[in-house]
C-alpha cells in the first residue's frame, strides 16, 4: 500500500494522537493532520451526522469530511479498550462505523485496539513497509513518556478544578477558553490530566463500578480534587451519555461536602459569552464565600 | 417482603410469577400514567434517557404504595442502562424512602441462579431453576399473546379490544406449566385462523431499543395506533428472546449477528446488533417498511442510525426513525407515522416507486 494517511485532530487525538502521528513520522509514511477545529468544520460535521450525538463526535465527522478528498487513506482506529478491559464509549466505538458511510469502505483503515496498541499498529505498518524491525523501532521511538510534574497547590490564589474530557477542554474551538476565563478571574486552574496516572486509574469506592475508562478517570480526578480546591466546574457536551449519569453522581457528592459545583452543558449553538457570564458569576460567588 | 419492579409491558406477568414462585409478595406499582413520568423526570438528571425517568417514577409510585424491596436489572457494560441502579438507589434514598434495593446483573446467569436468588429468598437453586423455567414459559406465552393481538388488531380493531381483555385475565391466572401450554396452543391456533383471512394491507417491522418495544406507555401506544390504521406490526424483541439471549440459547442470534456484521464496524453495545440484524431479516421476509424507535440521546441507537441509512439505500426500503423523550407528543408522532404509511401505500401501488406514475 502506498499513499497519504489522514489523521483527524478530534476525539482521541488529544490522548493518543502523538503516538499515531510519531509512528507514521518515524516510519516515513506521508500523513496529513486535519487543522485545528474551526466553525466551518463544526458546521460540516453537524450537517452530516445524526442530530442527537454529542458535539465532539459531530466535530470528528467534520474533520473526516475535510480530509476525505485530500488523502488516500483515513486512519480511524477502533479503540474498544484503551487499557484494562475498560470501554471507551459507545459513540467513540461508533466513529469507525460512521466513517465507513461518510468516506467509503476502501478509504478507511481501522485496526482494532483492545488494550494493546503495539500489535495492531505493527500489522498496519507491515502493509506499508516491509522491514519489521523498522516498524518496531518506529513504535518504540513514537512511544514517548511524558513526565508529569508533581502537583503543588499554592495557597495564594483561589483554586478551581475543571473536570472535563480531554477532547472538550483541549479543543480550542470548544472548551479551551474556559481555562483562560478562570485565569482572568484570578484562579489557579487544575485539570484532570494534570494528575498522575496512578490516581486516575484508582479502583476505590464508586469508581470501581464504572466500566467506561475515561469516565472513571473523571470520577477519580473529581474525588481527588474534592477536598483540595475551592470550586469545581464540570463541563460536558449535550447528549453525552456517560457524563449525564456520572455528572449527577458528582454533583450530589459535591453538594454533600458543600463545595461549589458548576455544571456547564454546551452544544454547537451555545455561545461563549453566555458561558463566560455564568463563570464570572460563579467566581464571584466563591470569592464572596471565602471572604 | 413486598417486592416491586418496573413495568415492562405484558411481560410484567412473567416477572411477577417468577417472584411469586420464589415466595415473595409482589406489590405491583399502579399503571403507568403521566404522573409516573412527571415524578420520574422531576428527580432524574435532565440529560439522561427516558427509560431511567419512567422506571424511577415507577419505583417512587411503588414505594408510595408500600413496597419495601426493589428489583432492577443491572450489568454495567457499554450502554448507560447498566448504571441506572446506582443513581436510582441514591435518588430514592435521598427522597427519604426505606427499602432494600437488589440490582440483578444480566450477564451472570449462574451467579443469579446459584448465589444471588437463593441468598435473597432463602430457597434452594432447584427452586430458582423451577421459577426461571416458569418465567421463560410465561414470557413465551406473553410473546405469543402479543403476536396474536397484533394480527387481530390489524384486521379488526374492535374485536381486538375484547380479545385483549379476555385473554389478559386468562394469562394472569395461568400459574401452572400445563395451563400455559394449553393457552399457548390456543393462541397459536387463533393467530393462524386470523391470518387465513388474508386481509392485511401493510406489514411494518418494528425495531429499536428493547424497553421501548415492550412498554406501550413509553412508545406512546404506537403499536395500538398502527393497528388502528390496519397495519400488521412485526417485532421480534421480547422478554422471551432476551432471556434466551442471556442464557445463550437464542438460535436466531447467529443469523442476526451475520447480517449485522456487514453494517457495523464495532458493536456500540445496547441493542445495536439486534436492531440492524432484525431490520435486514424483516426486509428479507418482505415487509413494506421499517419503524425504528429509541429514546432521545440513546448512544448505541444513534450510531445505528447511520447504518440504517445505508441499509435503506441498499435494499431500497423506507425506514422511519423516531426518538422519544418526556416532551414527545402523541399527535406529533402520529402525524409522522401516518405520512410514512401513506408513502408505503403509494409505493406498494406503484411498484416500489415513491413517485406518481
- pLDDT, chain A, mean: 88
pLDDT in tens, B70-107: 999 988 788 888 899 999 999 999 999 999 999 988 88
Residues A211, B323: C-beta atoms closer than 8 Å? no
Rounded to two decimals, the ipTM of the complex is 0.89
CA B9, CA B205: separation in Å to the nearest integer?
A: 18
CATH code: domain B202-357 is: 3.40.50.11900
Q: Which residues of B touch A244 (CB under 8 A)?
A: 45-48, 80, 297
Residues B83, A209: C-beta atoms closer than 8 Å? yes
CA A166, CA A79: separation in Å to the nearest integer?
A: 16
pLDDT band at B357 (very low <50, low <70, confident <90, very high): very low
**A201: which 3 cell numbers?**
486509574
CA A200, CA A220: separation in Å to the nearest integer?
A: 5
**B67: which 3 cell numbers?**
413496597
Please indicate, yes or no, whether the overall pTM of this predicted structure exceeds 0.90: yes
Chain A contact probe: residue of B83, B84, B276, B294 with most A CBs at under 10 A: B83
**A145: which 3 cell numbers?**
513518556
* Regions of chain A where pLDDT drops below 70: 145-149
Q: How many CA atoms lie within 13 A of B57 on its CB side?
A: 22
Q: Which residues of A touch B48 (CB under 8 A)?
A: 244-245, 248
Q: How many CA atoms lie within 13 A of B184 on its CB side?
A: 14
For residues B197 and B307, is the Cβ–Cβ distance under 8 A? no
pLDDT band at B4 (very low <50, low <70, confident <90, very high): very high
The count of other CB atoms within 10 Å of the CB of residue B196 is 8
- Give me the residues of A, 197-236, that contact B with CB < 8 A: 206, 209-211
Please give the order of strands across the beta sheet that includes A187-191.
A187-191, A158-163, A231-237, A261-266
pLDDT in tens, B262-305: 898 888 888 899 999 999 999 999 899 999 999 998 889 999 99
**Alpha carbon separation from A260 to A255, A256, A279, B282 (Å, rounded):** 7, 10, 12, 53
pLDDT in tens, A138-190: 888 888 766 666 777 777 788 899 999 999 998 888 888 889 999 998 888 99
The pLDDT value given to residue B226: 92
Three-state secondary-structure class, residue B292: strand
Q: Which residues have CB under 8 Å from A30's CB, separation 6+?
A: A3, A4, A5
CA B297, CA A241: separation in Å to the nearest integer?
A: 7
Measured at the alpha carbon of residue B52, what is the angle toward residues A252 and B115, in degrees to the nearest 5?
A: 90
Question: Which residues face A237 on adjacent strands?
Answer: A266
For residues A12 and A75, is the Cβ–Cβ distance under 8 A? no
pLDDT in tens, B145-177: 999 999 999 998 999 999 999 999 999 888 889
Residues B265, A78: C-beta atoms closer than 8 Å? yes
| CA–CA min distance A210, chain B (Å) | 7
The full set of domains in chain A, from first to last, is: 5-142 (3.40.50), 158-290 (3.40.50.11900)
For residues A109 and B287, is the Cβ–Cβ distance under 8 A? no
Q: Which listed CATH number (3.30.70, 3.90.550, 3.30.420, 3.40.50) goes with B2-123?
A: 3.40.50
* Per-residue DSSP letter, A164: -
Which chain B residue shows the shortest CA-CA distance from A111? B265
For residues A196 and A179, is the Cβ–Cβ distance under 8 A? no
Alpha helices in A49-114 (DSSP H): 55-68, 90-103
Q: φ and ψ at A269, to 5 degrees?
A: -95, -10
The pLDDT value given to residue B354: 53
* Per-residue DSSP letter, A37: P
pLDDT in tens, B39-64: 999 999 888 989 999 999 999 999 99
| DSSP conformation letters of A256-291 | HHT--EEEEEE-TT--HHHHHHHHHHHHHHHHHHH-
- pLDDT, chain B, mean: 90
CA A41, CA A39: separation in Å to the nearest integer?
A: 6
Three-state secondary-structure class, residue A35: coil
A120 touches chain B (CB under 8 A): no
The pLDDT value given to residue A146: 65
Biggest CA pair distance of chain A: 67
The count of other CB atoms within 10 Å of the CB of residue A271 is 9
Amino acid at each position: 500500500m502506498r499513499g497519504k494517511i489522514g489523521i483527524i485532530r478530534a476525539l482521541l487525538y488529544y490522548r493518543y494522537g502523538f503516538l499515531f502521528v510519531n509512528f507514521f513520522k518515524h516510519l516515513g509514511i506521508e500523513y496529513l493532520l486535519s487543522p485545528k477545529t474551526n466553525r466551518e468544520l463544526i458546521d460540516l460535521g453537524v450537517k452530516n451526522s445524526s442530530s442527537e450525538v454529542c458535539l465532539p463526535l459531530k466535530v470528528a465527522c467534520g474533520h473526516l469530511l475535510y480530509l476525505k478528498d485530500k488523502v488516500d487513506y483515513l486512519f480511524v482506529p477502533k479503540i474498544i479498550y484503551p487499557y484494562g478491559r475498560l470501554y471507551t464509549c459507545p459513540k467513540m466505538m461508533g466513529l469507525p462505523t460512521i466513517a465507513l458511510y461518510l468516506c467509503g469502505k476502501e478509504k478507511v483503515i481501522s485496526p482494532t485496539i483492545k488494550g494493546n496498541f503495539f500489535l495492531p499498529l505493527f500489522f498496519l505498518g507491515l502493509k506499508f513497509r516491509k522491514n519489521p524491525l523498522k516498524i518496531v523501532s518506529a513504535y518504540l521511538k513514537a512511544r514517548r513518556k511524558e513526565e508529569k510534574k508533581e502537583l503543588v497547590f499554592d495557597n495564594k490564589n483561589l483554586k478551581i478544578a475543571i473536570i472535563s474530557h480531554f477532547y472538550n477542554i483541549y479543543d480550542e474551538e470548544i472548551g479551551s477558553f474556559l481555562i483562560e476565563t478562570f485565569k482572568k478571574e484570578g484562579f489557579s486552574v487544575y485539570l484532570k490530566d494534570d494528575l498522575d496516572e496512578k490516581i486516575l486509574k484508582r479502583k476505590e469506592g464508586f469508581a470501581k463500578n464504572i466500566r467506561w475508562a475515561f469516565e472513571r478517570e473523571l470520577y477519580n480526578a473529581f474525588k481527588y480534587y474534592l477536598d483540595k480546591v475551592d470550586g469545581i466546574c464540570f463541563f460536558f457536551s449535550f447528549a453525552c451519555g456517560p457524563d449525564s449519569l456520572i455528572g449527577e453522581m458528582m454533583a450530589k457528592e459535591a453538594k454533600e461536602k458543600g463545595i461549589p459545583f458548576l455544571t456547564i452543558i454546551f452544544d454547537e449553538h451555545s455561545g461563549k459569552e453566555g458561558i463566560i457570564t455564568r463563570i464570572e458569576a460563579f467566581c464571584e460567588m466563591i470569592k464572596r464565600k471565602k471572604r | 417482603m413486598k417486592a416491586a419492579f418496573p413495568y415492562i409491558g405484558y411481560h410484567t406477568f412473567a416477572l411477577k410469577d417468577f417472584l411469586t414462585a420464589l415466595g415473595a409478595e409482589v406489590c405491583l406499582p399502579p399503571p403507568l400514567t403521566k404522573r409516573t413520568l412527571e415524578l420520574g423526570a422531576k428527580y432524574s438528571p435532565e440529560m439522561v434517557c427516558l427509560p431511567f425517568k419512567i422506571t424511577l417514577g415507577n419505583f417512587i409510585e411503588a414505594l408510595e404504595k408500600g413496597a419495601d424491596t426493589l428489583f432492577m436489572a443491572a450489568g454495567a457494560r457499554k450502554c448507560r442502562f447498566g448504571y441506572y441502579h446506582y443513581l436510582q438507589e441514591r435518588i430514592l434514598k435521598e427522597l427519604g424512602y426505606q427499602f432494600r434495593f437488589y440490582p440483578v446483573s444480566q450477564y451472570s446467569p449462574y451467579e443469579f441462579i446459584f448465589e444471588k436468588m437463593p441468598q435473597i429468598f432463602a430457597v434452594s437453586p432447584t427452586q430458582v431453576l423451577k421459577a426461571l423455567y416458569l418465567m421463560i414459559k410465561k414470557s413465551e406465552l406473553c410473546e405469543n399473546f402479543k403476536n396474536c393481538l397484533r394480527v387481530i388488531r390489524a384486521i379488526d380493531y374492535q374485536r381486538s379490544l375484547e380479545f385483549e381483555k379476555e385473554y389478559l385475565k386468562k394469562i394472569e391466572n395461568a400459574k401452572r406449566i400445563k395451563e400455559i401450554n394449553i393457552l399457548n396452543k390456543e393462541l397459536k391456533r387463533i393467530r393462524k385462523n386470523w391470518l387465513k383471512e388474508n386481509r392485511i394491507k401493510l406489514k411494518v417491522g418494528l425495531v429499536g431499543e428493547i424497553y421501548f418495544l415492550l412498554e406501550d406507555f413509553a412508545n406512546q401506544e404506537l403499536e395500538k395506533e398502527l393497528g388502528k390504521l390496519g397495519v400488521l406490526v412485526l417485532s421480534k424483541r421480547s422478554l422471551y428472546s432476551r432471556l434466551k439471549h442471556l442464557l445463550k440459547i437464542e438460535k436466531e442470534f447467529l443469523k442476526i449477528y451475520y447480517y449485522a456484521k456487514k453494517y457495523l464496524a464495532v458493536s456500540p453495545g445496547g441493542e445495536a446488533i439486534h436492531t440492524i440484524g432484525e431490520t435486514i431479516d424483516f426486509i428479507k421476509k418482505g415487509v413494506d417498511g421499517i419503524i425504528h424507535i429509541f429514546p432521545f440521546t440513546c448512544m448505541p441507537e444513534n450510531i445505528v442510525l447511520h447504518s440504517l441509512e445505508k441499509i435503506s439505500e441498499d435494499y431500497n426500503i423506507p425506514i422511519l426513525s423516531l426518538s422519544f423523550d418526556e416532551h414527545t407528543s402523541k399527535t406529533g408522532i402520529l402525524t409522522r407515522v401516518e405520512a410514512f404509511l401513506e408513502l408505503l401505500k403509494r409505493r406498494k401501488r406503484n411498484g416500489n416507486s415513491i413517485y406518481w406514475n
